[in-house]
Amino acid sequence: MAMNEPVLETSPKVSDEVRKTTCYMCACRCGINVHLKDGKVAYIEGNRDHPVNKGVLCAKGSSGIMQINAPSRLRAPLKRTGPRGSGEFEEISWDEALELATSWLEPIRKSAPEKLAFFTGRDQSQSFTSFWAQNFGTPNYAAHGGFCSVNMATAGIYTMGGAFWEFGQPDWERTKLFMIFGVAEDHDSNPIKMGLGKLKARGGKVIGVNPIRSGYNAIADEWVGITPGTDGLFICALIHVLLKAGKIDLDYLAQFTNAPCLLNAATGTAEEGLLLRDSDDKPLVVDRATGTLQPFDKEGVKPDLAAQIDIDGVTHKTVFQHLADRYLSDDYSPEAVAERCGVSAGRIKAIAAELARVAFEEAFELDQPWTDFRGNRHEKMLGRPVSFHAMRGISAHSNGFQTCRSLHILQILLGTVEVPGGFRFKPPYPKPVEAHPTPHCHSKPDCPLDGPHLGFVRGPADLALKEDGSPARIDKAFTWENPLSAHGLMHMVISNAHAGDPYKIDALFLYMANMSWNSSMNTRGVMEMLTDKDENGDYVIPRIIYSDAYSSEMVAYADLILPDTTYLERYDCISLLDRPICEADAAADAIRWPVVEPDRDVRGFQSVLVDLGARLKLPGFTDEKGDPLYKDYADYMVNHQRRPGIGPLAGFRGNGTETGRGEVNPNQLQRYIENGSFFVEHVPPEAAFYKPWNAGYQDWAVGLGFYDKPQPYLFQLYVEPLRRLQLAAEGHGDRQPPDHLRQQIIDRLDPFPIWYAPLEDAAVDTDAYPVHALTQRPMAMYHSWGSQNAWLRQIHGQNPLYVPTKIWQENGFKDGDWAKVTSVHGEITVPVAHMAGLNENTVWTWNAIGKRKGAWALDEHAPEATRGFLLNHLIHELLPPKGDGLRWSNSDPVTGQAAWFDLRVRIEKAPPPDESQPEFDALKSPVVKGPAIVRQKVTS
Ligand code: SF4
């Protein structure tokens, strides 16, 4: 038989070299081995040694090979020749491009640096881009967090010093009950999938709370198809049930949270509702052993949760007593919230009971001694195997900050944060608010800004306001409208710049942000604002510079294009100063390096910024003689020091063996490359849990340079900075909000989490627009830049509107039908598909599949352009007018988070149009269309 069989090569040689770098097909940042054959990428596999993915690679990651072959890659710098929005450009040299950019930016810096708005999208070099903007001197800098998940990040930092994703993860080895809210796919892509695999293999349980049963919810053991925007109410009901049953961790609350801290009850004073503090400004607790007031961190103190203390005839109670009063209210009983949430009272009680059972009856101990910040030695670590994860689904609502806060309160009441089996922080988190900067906004001609742009407001004094009380920033971040806007409000930049509210700008400089398409609300309106001219015939936004690697829709709306490389052709720094790749057991950072050289006239954007910084003679980029400090971004990664001994990369410093702190090592990048492009430093066993209170962890963190001295802190069930802002709204203090915002601040900035209906519910007639409309992130793609990938397009080449059974039947829909979907702002006509696993009052579609004709080098008849669509056309960046003449942003009033998911629509059957509506004219493409077939032979 063997004689007639053909001889097959079952292990063909696919590469002659392997180069290890870091994936960027999503923000998870797995380690990858890039196999090269004859100098070309032949295939990509996961790096088994890498701390993030341990060899696992997803469909997106392996499709990176098509990303660097994409016809949509920009090929050279471009200068606009036709009208804005036409897509007509000429290719120019880099010298010409950089001279042009300098000629636009230099006068702005010398006269009024705030006239430059510099905003970046999904880049991962924010500590660098913010450093550049700070040296330029403009207050107008932020990344995309304001339209992504700032509610999640900010609520986490203010409550417990960190949130999910980069901040932390479940203890996947030990957790038994995992509850996820508002997550389909996530930035933490492979680790969550690996973790879920471990959990399921152990027989653990997953509860998914999401109106849509997609992504992780599809493998949940229990799915809660909640009504959008009511997660906070549902969580408050869980808290109500747990408090009523006494199923909370009193010992944890007393030791590690501000539950035993005393609130000032002196009614009507400027201190009402603030924490009682000693002369060193430390919050006070009553010591159970002595009955005396003591600073919370005094050695040996045993805080009393039930203490009450009389001072000058006023009785002051603990945070815990106030919290119990709040959530034991019948307003939060399961019966009171069930209908609104679309979850029965019995189910809410059953879920609360399950959380309590696993947290308390399946508690366990690790034989691991540790010492807390009060000097107490503990022989064991107590585990509670319940963990949570949440993301944009609960965040992107106008009530999202308080909803995210309520979830953290639930975690803390169960005693499941930073304990074995629970949720664990990833270094350099946790960090209290006090370890973060406050926002800075004071700009002067020809000077750097007075400090970092973004930060955490402690009270009215930190708001970014000018002397006259008007907003200092173009996006109105850190104002009374949204005081805790720690990531800025990118979704308001173009609208405010166009309206000249609070002022006009001269130049808009964007990186990796598809603002004329899927990254904007009110997409058509944004296109009009970008192309609008004033009475003199000049563009209202005079200059637009844009950097992207691909021919996205935004390219057509810029005057100057600075073409970026792909992630396999560049140096990048995934830094502990920024958004690192740490795991709960280890601090880690990583690099990318050019595993292949670009075959086009493109440059890494960060290197372009280094060059521009030198041409503009920015202080952080030039020495005292005005000579460039750095050759390019790689040079900056090695030689820049943010503080003495602390640079962008923590590994291989000094002589190559120093970690965290150390002198510059000229061979640092080579050491990273030899190590697989990452560096990892493990947390010592005694420091692995209880990180905010663990003396061992605090010392380890100081050694690595996360902070300069130990700073243990308490979790904040009660967020005092919110109360300080409320006090101002009540009339206390010098810095006062405008009258029209006083009640909003008092109502929405409650120091305990509250629930209120999404603001669009109050702004529109919900009988006319009865249906909720959402998007989900596709598991196989990452926003727009994956959806032109030839392999990934095979999975999602178009996106129907998914409709639940009730609405499907009411409208008599059949397969192949189309529907008109109308919001208060606009209408679209799109293909529909039936989905049973969906909240009965919700429709949804995949995010960012729809494309504009002419963009991304796709054929004009590509399904993405003819049947694909965006929900963005239905969403406005402003709420409908209230008749008061003011512009009210469609954002969370605490943080400014874009309220994408508050959208209300009505849906009706429509005759099939030729294409999804609205249709737009095709853009002229600055790149050629892709060939029908791409062949690359990689085996020998
Ligand atoms: S999860 Fe993200 S970073 Fe990891 S392999 Fe997939 S695309 Fe790449």
Tell which atom from ligand 1 comes closest to the C-alpha of 190.
1
Please state the atom number of ligand 1 nearest to the C-alpha of residue 46: 5
Mutate to test the pocket of ligand 1, among 45, 53, 165, 193 (most ligand atoms within 8 A of CB): 53
How far is the centre of ligand 1, averaged over its atoms, from the C-alpha of 408 (Å)? 27
Query: Which of 21, 23, 194, 791 for a ligand 1 pocket mutation test, highest count of atoms within 8 Å of Cβ?
Result: 23
Q: How far is the CA of 545 from the centre of ligand 1 (A)?
A: 29
Question: What's the CA gap between 539 and 34, in Å, rounded?
Answer: 45
Pairing of strands 205-209, 177-181: parallel
* For the CA of 32, the nearest atom of ligand 1: 5
CA of 681 to the centre of ligand 1 (A): 22
Residue nearest to atom 2 of ligand 1 (CA): 26
How far is ligand 1, taken at its centre, from the CA of residue 860, in Å? 29
Separation of CA 555 and ligand 1 centre (Å): 26
Which of 58, 572, 791 should be mutated for ligand 1, with most atoms under 8 A from CB?
58
Whole-number Å distance, alpha carbon 838 to ligand 1 midpoint, is 27
Pull the structure tokens for residue 239.
């808290």
Distance from the alpha carbon of residue 315 to the mean position of ligand 1, in angstroms: 55
Nearest to 208 by CA among 374, 391, 24: 391
Q: Which atom of ligand 1 is nearest to the CA of 56?
A: 5
Judged by DSSP in three states, 88 sits in coil
The separation between CA 666 and the C-alpha centre of its own chain, rounded to angstroms, equals 33
Alpha-carbon span 542 to 507, nearest angstrom: 6
Query: Nearest residue CA, atom 8 of ligand 1?
Result: 61
How many Å lie between the centroid of ligand 1 and the Cα of residue 792?
13
Please state the atom number of ligand 1 nearest to the C-alpha of residue 60: 7
- Residue 225 CA to ligand 1 center (angstroms) comes to 28
Burial class of residue 731 in the structure, from the number of CB atoms within 10 Å of its CB (0-12 exposed, 13-18 middle, 19+ buried): exposed
CA 67 to ligand 1 centroid distance, Å: 13
pLDDT cut 90: percent of the chain above it: 91
782 C-alpha to ligand 1 centroid (Å): 9
Q: Which among 24, 29, 30 is the best mutation to test ligand 1's pocket, defined by most ligand atoms within 8 Å of the CB? A: 30
SS (H, E, C) 730-786: CCCCCCCCCHHHHHHHHHHCCCCCCCCCCHHHHHCCCCCCCEEEEEECCCCCCHHHH
SS3 35: strand
DSSP state of 909: E
CA of 25 to the centre of ligand 1 (A): 6
Alpha-carbon dihedral angle through residues 563, 567, 571, 577, given to the nearest 10 degrees:
110
Atom 5 of ligand 1, residue of closest alpha carbon = 61
Question: Which ligand 1 atom sits closest to the C-alpha of 26?
Answer: 2
Q: Which residues line ligand 1 (CB under 6 A)?
A: 23, 25-26, 28-30, 53, 57-58, 60-61, 189-190
Cα dist from 665 to 187, 595, 651, 682, 938, whole Å: 32, 22, 10, 21, 38
Strand partners, 86: none
Compute φ and ψ for 391, nearest 5 degrees.
Answer: -155, -140
Question: Which of 190, 785, 792 best tests ligand 1's pocket when mutated (most atoms within 8 Å of CB)?
Answer: 190
Q: pLDDT tens-digit profile of 801-811?
A: 999 999 999 99
- Strand-pairing partners, residue 908, are 820
pLDDT of residue 2: 57
Gyration radius of the chain's alpha carbons: 27
Rounded CA separation 348/138 (Å): 49
Among 25, 33, 47, 166, residue to substitute to test ligand 1 (most atoms within 8 Å of Cβ): 25
Low-confidence ranges of the chain (pLDDT < 70): 1-3, 784, 937-940
- Give the distance (Å) from ligand 1 centre to CA of residue 29: 6
Ligand 1 centre to CA of 31 (Å) is: 8
Tell me how far the alpha carbon of residue 556 lies from the centroid of ligand 1, in angstroms: 29
42-to-17, 25, 813, 940 alpha-carbon distances in Å: 10, 17, 46, 11
Task: Identify which of 22, 34, 57, 122 to mutate to test ligand 1's pocket (most ligand atoms within 8 A of the CB).
Answer: 57
- Which atom of ligand 1 is nearest to 53's Cα? 4
Q: What is the atom index within ligand 1 of the atom nearest the CA of 22?
A: 3
Question: What's the 64 CA to ligand 1 centre distance in angstroms?
Answer: 9
Residue 62 CA to residue 229 CA, distance in Å, equals 36
DSSP 586-650: EEEEEEE--SS--SSS---HHHHHHHHHHHTT-GGGB-TTS-BS-SSHHHHHHH--SBTTB-S--
What CA–CA distance (Å, rounded) separates 777 from 516? 19
Which pLDDT score, from 0 to 100, does residue 386 have? Answer: 98
Q: How far apart are CA 99 and CA 221, in angstroms?
A: 59
Give dist(CA 18, CA 667) in Å, integer. Answer: 21
Beta strands 141-142; 116-120: pairing state:
parallel
Which pLDDT does position 777 carry in this prediction?
85
pLDDT of residue 377: 96
Can you tell me the distance from the alpha carbon of 484 to that of 749, in angstroms, rounded to the nearest whole number? 10
Ligand 1 midpoint to CA 122 (Å): 15
- d(C-alpha 733, C-alpha 740), whole Å: 17
Distance CA 939, CA 385 (A): 48
Which of ligand 1's atoms lies nearest the C-alpha of 52?
4
- Residues 339-361 as b/e (b if ≥16 CB within 10 A, e otherwise) read eebbbebeebbebbebbbebbee
Q: How many CB atoms lie within 10 A of CB 768?
A: 11
Helices and strands per DSSP (H, E), number in the chain: 25, 33
Ligand 1: residue of 60, 62, 789, 792 to mutate (most ligand atoms within 8 A of CB) is: 60
| Closest C-alpha residue for ligand 1 atom 4 | 30
CB 604 within 8 A of CB 74: no
> Would you mind telling me the total number of residues written for the chain in this entry?
940
Pocket test of ligand 1: the residue of 22, 24, 26, 579 to mutate, having most ligand atoms within 8 Å of its CB, is 26
Q: From the CA of 62, give the closest atom in ligand 1.
A: 5
DSSP secondary structure of 811-877: TT--TT-EEEEE-SS-EEEEEEEE-SSB-TTEEEEETT----TTSTT--TT-HHHHT---GGGG--S
Q: What does the pLDDT read at residue 358?
A: 98
The pLDDT tens digits for 240-253 are: 999 999 999 999 99
Decide: pTM greater than 0.95: yes
| Residue recorded with tokens 């491009």 | 97
- Return the half-sphere exposure (C-beta side, CA atoms, 13 A cut-off) of residue 406: 27
Cα(175) to ligand 1 centroid in Å equals 24
Given a contact cutoff of 8 angstroms between Cβ atoms, the answer to whether 528 and 498 are in contact is no
Distance CA 524, CA 530 (A): 10
Cβ-contact 401, 389 below 8 angstroms: no
Secondary-structure breakdown of the chain: helix, strand, coil percentages, each rounded to the nearest 5: 30, 20, 50
Angle of helix 231-245 versus helix 345-356 axis, rounded to 10: 60
| Pocket perturbation via mutation, ligand 1, pick of 21, 24, 28 by most ligand atoms within 8 A of CB | 28
Q: How far is the CA of 27 from the centre of ligand 1 (A)?
A: 7
What pLDDT, on a 0 to 100 scale, did the predictor assign at position 878? 93
Give the count of alpha carbons within 13 A of 199, CB side only.
Answer: 28
Span from the CA of 23 to the centroid of ligand 1 (angstroms):
6
Q: For residue 394, how far is its CA from the centre of ligand 1 (angstroms)? A: 23
Kindly tell me the sign of the dihedral angle through the C-alpha atoms of 640, 644, 647, 650: positive
CB neighbour list of residue 228: distance below 8 Å, 6 or more residues apart? 211, 397, 758, 772, 774, 839, 842, 901, 902
Q: How far is the CA of 33 from the centre of ligand 1 (A)?
A: 12
Minimum-distance ligand 1 atom for the alpha carbon of 28:
3
Q: How are beta strands 205-209 and 222-224 bridged, if at all?
A: parallel
For residue 189, the ligand 1 atom closest to its alpha carbon is 1
